[in-house]
Amino acid sequence: MANGWTPERRARQAELIRQWRPWEQSTGPRTEAGKRVVSRNAYKGSTWMLIRGLSRALREQNRQLAGYDQV
């Protein structure tokens, strides 16, 4: 494989993870500050700002086009 993980290595790692069971040790955020931090995990700053800007531009364009219909 291109990434160095052979099928045997992948199977061995999968078995080790099933034995280790990391999902049972996860507690998630405990403090309010930690909860605020993880609530933004999916936030992508520049992408979000771009989408907001485009959304505003489209709303303005729709307002202007609606005005042309009335003339």
Instruction: State residue 48's pLDDT score.
Output: 78
Tokens encoding 19? 């034995």
Tokens encoding 32? 């309010």
Instruction: State residue 1's pLDDT score.
Output: 53
Residues 39-67: pLDDT tens digits?
888 776 778 788 889 999 999 999 999 88
Cα gap 10→4, rounded to integer Å: 10
Kindly state the greatest CA–CA separation across the chain: 72
Cα gap 32→10, rounded to integer Å: 38
Domain segments of the chain as ranges = 44-71
Tell me the backbone φ, ψ of residue 34, rounded to 5 degrees: -65, -40
